[in-house]
Amino acid sequence: MSIAFKRVGYLDLNGRQKENYNYHKISAILAEYGFTTIRLSDDWEGADFIAKHIDGQYLLVQQKSRLAFAKKYEGKKASDLTGMTSHESWVVKGGYSFSWSWVKPELKALFEEYKLEAQVTAPETHEI
């Protein structure tokens, strides 16, 4: 008996399914850098999951569907490159988020050194 697996379309997933999908994709990439992850059933200290490195260090990770900044980081380079501090959401709510497609190249360059890339690509379908 064989089972055919077919890739799902990300845009066909609902919000919760996208969050689960993204968690597993992130975990797979982090594994290539020596991390194992633990999904939290409820946010803990703002984190959606914990990533523990083989050297014992750990990260509290909060997933976001968009690039987001909080006032507690005010004064950093990103605010200069986005103009976000003049927007109502920043002034009133203390935060600002926007789609990655709207990010200026200068801001993308700041994130480049932190970019993690998966090394493996899978075939479209696979049978077992």
Please check whether residues 72 and 121 belong to one and the same domain.
yes
For residue 121, give both structure tokens.
Answer: 């690509």
Please check whether residues 29 and 75 belong to one and the same domain.
no
Longest dimension (CA), the chain: 61
Nearest to 84 by CA among 99, 95, 100, 72: 95
Please check whether residues 55 and 5 belong to one and the same domain.
yes
The pTM (predicted TM-score) of the whole model is 0.67
Please check whether residues 92 and 36 belong to one and the same domain.
no
**Number of structural domains, the chain?**
2
Identity of residue 102: W
For residue 71, give both structure tokens.
Answer: 């006032």
Q: Across the chain, what does the average pLDDT equal?
A: 82
Which residue segment(s) compose the domain that 76 sits in?
66-128
Please check whether residues 110 and 80 belong to one and the same domain.
yes
pLDDT per residue as tens digits for the range 62-102: 888 777 777 776 666 766 777 777 888 888 888 888 777 77
| Numbers of helices and strands, H then E, in the chain | 4, 7
Please check whether residues 45 and 101 belong to one and the same domain.
no
CB atoms inside a 10 Å sphere around CB 37: 20
